[in-house]
């Protein structure tokens, strides 16, 4: 069943129920505003603290956009790109695209103009929908990209080089377009994180999207009574596919525009959120705010909060232990996946396996896993190899890149590029990205293991370990460390702390600096290697 049918069923069954809430904490809190009121009286979507939409209006808005696209010549198989910050318009636009049989192409909101242009060309995009935050970037390339594309603007004060989304859709039919969509039809193109250069275009079918809905609900048991707090960007598969649990259950979700701990706790309290998906840095910030006393839990209504889960990157066990000390009644879970496997869920820990914190789990619902050596042969349990996954959520291909597709898709198996090991109980532990493994003096060093150890130091807020060139060892490990606010520690003190590690795993140098992460929380190690790849190790060679 195409995923658009879930939206239509929810509109029929739960039409008057609120399904989406947008909260903008940077705006002074005022009355609640429904989408209908917003359109009739106050057209600027940035002036309200809170907006909401029902399932019936969600579906109607998707239909209006679909019909407008078709009136403008969009047909099944065309590509429509979305360049928006999280907002109440995002998902109706996404589903409107799907209802035409066209392919939705979400774009990373951090893309510079040249990256936007690159992705539009790579994905053969026919239409670009963009918001006010991107006027400058789109304007830089507007003359070039508008020659063979439609440009629609979502927001106030439409620029001259685009057309206004609200006025164009206002008089379009709210009935579903008569387009036949099958499970095997192409549905969406997502882009890889681009940590090794310009991103690849990842093509998924409706089968992939639908499977992610089922997997999410099987793993976390969402019901109509659950309220999901969504903070990460919707252009990424992680946030979208976790929200799919709300879609398949008919539950409410809250789009929070901001990551400060006070925003998170207020949203959970005010909206009655029961499920919160956090990235590692946000969870760390929440814990630090509680421990410092800037957040007082007694100020918030949190009893209904039942599940905190984390994904998108390896999760430090020390972080979860600290979380459970403060929130002993919270279930904790982690999911592993890639955009190539339609986001989270290919591997799943399970709330019943909190004793295995640090592992990513076992094969998720409907998925298979294996760990292989460089020849593709499964390794023995306890040996490190490359993690491979197989299931209905694996991508169809890298669009327009057969060579790259053939490198990672083999007999239905997706070779993830992540190094992993299976423990005696069959739980999979991530070791590191294949490209991030450091080979020092002939030994394989997995940075995640060193990072997890350094994070156990009470002064450390975040850490990244990278390998840099070394004449004697080939590569040497260095640690970039971000300290907690108001904490002071010296390099010598941390070097002494690291003596608890095996000698070959000890960092050769420690640099105190901020840790750059992308919008999905992953450490940007290529950027760190570019910045620190030529640091002088001479003064640190004999330390430790």
pLDDT in tens, 263-312: 999 999 999 999 999 888 789 889 999 999 999 999 999 999 999 998 76
10 Å CB burial of residue 289 (0-12, 13-18, 19+) is middle
Q: How far apart are CA 415 and CA 390, in angstroms?
A: 9
**What confidence tier does 432 reach under pLDDT thresholds 50, 70, 90?**
low
CATH 3.30.300.30 in the chain: give the residue spans. 437-540
Rounded average pLDDT over 179-202: 84
Say yes or no to pLDDT of 30 above 70. no
Provide the H-helix boundaries in 88-227: 90-99, 113-122, 135-145, 165-170, 206-220
Q: What is the average pLDDT across 502-519? A: 86
Domain boundaries for CATH 3.40.50.12780 within the chain: 4-220
The neighbouring-strand residues paired with 34 are 52
Token pair for residue 499? 């003596």
pTM: 0.82
Task: Please tell us whether the domain made up of 437-540 is placed in CATH 3.30.300.30.
Answer: yes
Q: How far apart are CA 125 and CA 118, in angstroms?
A: 10
DSSP H or E run through 248? helix 237-249
Query: Mind listing the pLDDT tens digit for each residue in 226-274?
Result: 999 999 889 988 888 899 999 999 999 999 999 899 999 999 999 999 9
Spatial distance between the Cα atoms of 462 and 451, rounded to a whole number of angstroms: 8
- Per DSSP, the residues of 432-447 read EEGGG-EEETTEEE-H
CA distance 424 to 404: 34
Residue 88 has pLDDT above 80, yes or no: yes
CA–CA separation, 461 vs 452, rounded Å?
11
Q: Is the pLDDT of residue 436 over 80?
A: no
Q: Is residue 195 scored above 80 in pLDDT?
A: no
For the segment 128-153, the average pLDDT, to the nearest whole number, is 95
Cα separation, 140 vs 110, whole angstroms: 15
Does the pLDDT value for residue 542 go beyond 90? no
- Whether 510 and 491 have beta carbons less than 8 Å apart is answered as yes
Copy the structure tokens of residue 544: 């430790």
pLDDT at 185 over 90: yes
pLDDT at 196: 46
CB atoms within 10 A of CB 450: 22
Nearest Cα neighbor of 98 from 119, 70, 72, 123 is 70
Distance CA 332, CA 322 (A): 12
With residue 243 as reference, give the H or E element that holds it: helix 237-249
Q: What pLDDT shows up at residue 104?
A: 98
In this prediction, residue 438 carries a pLDDT of 83
C-alpha distances out from residue 63 to 77, 92, 96, 173, 227, Å = 17, 8, 6, 7, 25
Q: How far apart are CA 480 and CA 292, in angstroms?
A: 24
The pLDDT tens digits for 91-128 are 999 999 999 999 999 998 888 898 899 999 999 999 99
| Number of residues that this document lists for the chain | 544
Say yes or no to pLDDT of 365 above 80.
Answer: yes
Question: Distances in Å between the alpha carbon of 345 and those of 6, 209, 401?
Answer: 20, 12, 25
Look-up of token digits 């971000």: 482
Nearest to 253 by CA among 276, 236, 233: 276
SS3 label, residue 489: coil
The fraction of the chain above a pLDDT of 70, given in percent, is 91
- Is the CB of residue 123 less than 8 Å from the CB of residue 108? no
Residue with tokens 């998720």: 364
Domain 4-220, CATH: 3.40.50.12780
Bigger pLDDT: 248 or 374? 248
- What pLDDT is attached to residue 541? 43
């Amino acid at each position: 069943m195409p995923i658009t049918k879930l939206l239509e069923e929810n509109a029929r069954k739960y039409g008057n129920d609120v399904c989406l809430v947008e909260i903008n904490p940077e705006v002074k809190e005022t009355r609640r505003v429904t989408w209908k009121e917003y359109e009739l009286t106050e057209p600027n979507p940035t002036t309200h603290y809170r907006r909401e939409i029902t399932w019936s209006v969600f579906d109607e808005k998707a239909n209006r956009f679909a019909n407008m696209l078709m009136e403008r010549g969009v047909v099944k198989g065309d590509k429509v790109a979305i360049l928006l910050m999280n907002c109440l318009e995002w998902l109706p636009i996404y589903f409107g695209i799907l209802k035409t049989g066209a392919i939705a192409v979400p774009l990373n909101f951090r893309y510079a103009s040249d990256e936007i242009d690159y992705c539009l060309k790579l994905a053969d995009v026919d239409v670009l929908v963009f918001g006010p935050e991107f006027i400058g970037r789109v304007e830089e390339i507007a003359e070039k990209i508008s020659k063979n594309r439609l440009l629609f603007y979502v927001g106030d004060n439409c620029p001259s080089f685009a057309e206004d989304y609200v006025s164009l859709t206002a008089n379009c039919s709210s009935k579903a377009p008569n387009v036949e969509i099958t499970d095997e039809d192409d549905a969406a193109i997502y882009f890889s994180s681009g940590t090794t250069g310009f991103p690849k275009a990842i093509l998924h079918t409706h089968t992939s999207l639908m499977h992610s809905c089922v997997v999410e609900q099987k793993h976390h048991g969402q019901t109509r009574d659950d309220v999901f707090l969504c903070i990460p960007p919707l252009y990424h598969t992680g946030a979208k596919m976790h929200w799919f649990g709300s879609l398949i259950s008919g539950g409410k979700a809250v789009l929070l525009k901001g990551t400060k701990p006070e925003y998170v706790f207020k949203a959970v309290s005010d909206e009655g959120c029961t499920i919160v998906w956090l990235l590692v840095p946000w969870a760390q910030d929440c814990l630090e705010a509680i421990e410092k006393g800037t957040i007082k839990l007694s100020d918030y209504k949190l009893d209904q909060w039942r599940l905190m889960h984390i994904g998108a990157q390896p999760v430090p066990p020390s972080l979860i232990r600290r979380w459970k000390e403060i929130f002993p009644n919270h279930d904790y879970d982690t999911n592993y996946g890639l955009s190539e496997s339609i986001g989270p869920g290919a591997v799943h820990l399970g709330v019943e396996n909190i004793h295995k914190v640090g592992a990513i789990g076992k094969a998720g619902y409907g998925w298979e896993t294996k760990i292989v050596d460089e020849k593709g042969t499964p390794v023995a349990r306890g040996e490190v190899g490359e993690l491979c996954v197989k299931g209905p959520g694996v991508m169809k291909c890298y669009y327009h890149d057969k060579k790259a597709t053939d490198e990672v898709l083999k007999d239905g198996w997706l070779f993830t590029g992540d190094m992993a090991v299976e423990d005696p109980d069959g739980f999979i532990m991530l070791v590191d990205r294949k490209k991030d493994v450091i080979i020092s003096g002939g030994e394989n060093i997995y940075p995640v293991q060193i990072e997890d150890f350094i994070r156990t130091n009470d002064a450390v807020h975040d850490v990244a370990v990278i390998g840099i060139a070394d004449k004697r060892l080939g590569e040497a490990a260095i640690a970039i460390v971000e300290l907690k606010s108001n904490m002071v520690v010296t390099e010598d003190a941390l070097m002494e702390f690291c003596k608890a590690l095996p000698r070959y795993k000890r960092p050769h140098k420690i640099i105190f600096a901020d840790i750059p992460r992308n919008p999905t929380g992953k450490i940007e190690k290529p950027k760190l290697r570019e910045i620190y790849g030529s640091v002088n190790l001479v003064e640190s060679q004999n330390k430790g």
